[in-house]
């Protein structure tokens, strides 16, 4: 059942309501255009990484990009959105004219991404490309059809911690080709809605032979065993280099501007941050919007966590 616009405006304000409406219209436009909604298929054994924002997709990308066979650059943001040649040129340090030319020559998003990533892979001296954009999770059934030989990695994180991180994300955006600091303070209810929506979309293809789930918490606490499991799924040999620190895996600083610590040593400090960061009222919002998924994913047995004492910072 749709929510009346008057109710939406009263809750989040006119400006944000207009922005959300524009985003929804753009998303509907993209998903119904023949360029994206195409039956074209790629034969590439690609790796497509997705999940809710702030759930560990960048951490996984840092690991996978160190594999000697796999190249994974900054987020393309175009498999489920319009292609932005300026942004891609900046992130991948390419002439924007080259990106525009490739876009003009491509008959579909499949052909564009295929050629763009193949070129990047060749420059990196590797044989297999991967693409990490969290929003890929929004169109998994279509992408699975378009990349039938691909492998899809759905990265999942405890939603209670993910919403805490989403509250003030993103911190930087691009304006006229330059990074601009942002002061963001999203309502927890909005963050929980995003997390629940993205996780729910990912779970729709749970059990598909092309899809694997990886929990952020496992990737942090038991990286080697988790990466060995994932390499088996990807049909690649595990390489110890995947566990090492950052070493040239990046293809452009702007691709990581909202996650400057992506290549740093991982730690467990962010585990359970909801116990400090969420008020009882905010916890109720998270439980109302995403509580069922917390239970399905094994992060909570029941709703008793809502009333646990709020820990001091």
pLDDT tens for each residue of 9-28? 455 456 655 565 566 666 77
The rounded percent of the chain whose pLDDT value lies above 90 is: 74
Which residue, 124, 100, 103, is CA-closest to 114?
103
**Pair (36, 91) in one structural domain:** yes
- pLDDT exceeds 90 at position 308: yes
**Pair (79, 39) in one structural domain:** yes
**Pair (282, 309) in one structural domain:** yes
What are the residues facing 215 on neighbouring strands?
156
**Pair (306, 177) in one structural domain:** yes
Indicate the pTM of the whole model. 0.85
Residue 170, domain member (yes or no): yes
- pLDDT exceeds 80 at position 232: yes
Which residue is it, tokens 């924002």?
53
Task: Count CB atoms within 10 A of the CB of residue 47.
Answer: 26
Q: What total of structural domains would you count in the chain?
A: 2
- pLDDT exceeds 50 at position 114: yes
Tokens found for residue 19 = 């922005």
**Pair (123, 197) in one structural domain:** no
Q: What is the mean pLDDT of residues 41-64?
A: 97
Which residue, 226, 213, 223, is CA-closest to 293?
213
| Dist CA 245 CA 17 (whole Å) | 42
- pLDDT exceeds 80 at position 59: yes
**Pair (186, 151) in one structural domain:** no
Residue 234, domain member (yes or no): yes
Are the C-beta atoms of residues 121 and 68 closer than 8 Å to each other? no
Residue 256, domain member (yes or no): no
Q: What is the mean pLDDT of residues 133-158?
A: 97
Tallying the residues shown for the chain, one arrives at 313
| Dist CA 111 CA 117 (whole Å) | 10
Report which of residues 169 and 267 the model is more confident about: 169
**Pair (84, 233) in one structural domain:** yes
In this structure, of 139-148, 216-225, 256-265, the range with the lowest mean pLDDT score is 256-265
Residue 2, domain member (yes or no): no
| Dist CA 282 CA 160 (whole Å) | 10
**Pair (193, 218) in one structural domain:** no
What residues contact residue 204 under an 8 Å CB cut-off, 6+ apart? 140, 141
What are the residues facing 139 on neighbouring strands?
none
Residue 261, domain member (yes or no): no
Residue 56, domain member (yes or no): yes
Cα-flanking dihedrals φ and ψ of residue 129, to 5°?
-105, 150
Q: What is the mean pLDDT of residues 43-63?
A: 97
Name the strands in the sheet holding 128-132, side by side, starting at the edge strand that comes first in the sequence.
70-72, 128-132, 47-51, 151-156, 211-215
Residue 246, domain member (yes or no): no
**Pair (76, 131) in one structural domain:** yes
Q: What is the CATH number of the domain that holds 79?
A: 3.40.50.300
| Dist CA 144 CA 162 (whole Å) | 26
Q: What is the mean pLDDT of residues 85-89?
A: 96
Phi/psi region, residue 79 (left: phi>0; alpha: psi -120 to 50; beta: rest), is alpha
* DSSP β-ladder status, 172-175 and 178-181: antiparallel
Residue 248, domain member (yes or no): no
**Pair (53, 179) in one structural domain:** no
The rounded percent of the chain whose pLDDT value lies above 70 is: 79
Residue-number span of the structural domain to which 306 is assigned: 157-208+273-313
Which residue, 303, 286, 299, is CA-closest to 158?
299
**Pair (165, 198) in one structural domain:** yes
Q: Mean pLDDT in the chain?
A: 87
**Pair (149, 169) in one structural domain:** no
């Amino acid at each position: 059942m749709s929510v009346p616009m008057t109710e939406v405006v009263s809750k989040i304000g006119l400006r944000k309501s207009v922005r959300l409406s524009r985003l929804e219209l753009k998303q509907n436009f993209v998903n119904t255009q023949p360029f994206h909604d195409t039956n074209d298929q790629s034969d590439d054994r690609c790796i497509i990484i997705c999940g809710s924002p702030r759930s560990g997709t960048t951490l996984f990308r840092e690991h996978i990009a160190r594999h000697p066979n796999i190249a994974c650059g900054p987020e393309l943001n175009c498999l489920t959105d319009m292609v932005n040649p300026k942004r891609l040129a900046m992130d991948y340090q390419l002439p924007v004219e080259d990106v525009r030319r490739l876009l003009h020559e491509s008959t579909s998003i499949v052909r564009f991404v295929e050629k763009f990533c193949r070129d990047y892979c060749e420059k990196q001296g590797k044989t297999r490309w991967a693409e990490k954009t969290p929003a890929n999770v929004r169109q998994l059934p279509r992408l699975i059809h378009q990349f039938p030989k691909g492998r899809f990695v759905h990265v999942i994180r405890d939603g209670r911690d993910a919403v805490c991180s989403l509250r003030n994300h993103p911190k930087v955006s691009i304006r006229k080709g330059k990074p601009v600091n942002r002061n963001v303070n999203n309502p927890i209810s909005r963050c929980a809605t995003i997390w629940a929506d993205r996780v729910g979309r990912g779970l729709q293809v749970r059990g598909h032979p092309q899809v694997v789930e990886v929990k952020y918490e496992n990737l942090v606490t038991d990286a080697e065993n988790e990466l060995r499991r994932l390499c088996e799924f990807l049909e690649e040999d595990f390489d110890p280099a995947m566990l090492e620190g950052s070493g040239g895996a990046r293809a452009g600083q702007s691709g990581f501007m909202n996650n400057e610590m992506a290549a740093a040593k991982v730690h467990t400090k962010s585990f359970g941050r909801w116990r400090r960061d969420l008020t009882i009222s905010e916890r109720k919002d998270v439980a109302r919007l995403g509580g069922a998924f917390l239970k399905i994913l094994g992060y909570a047995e029941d709703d008793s966590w809502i009333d646990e004492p709020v820990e001091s910072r």
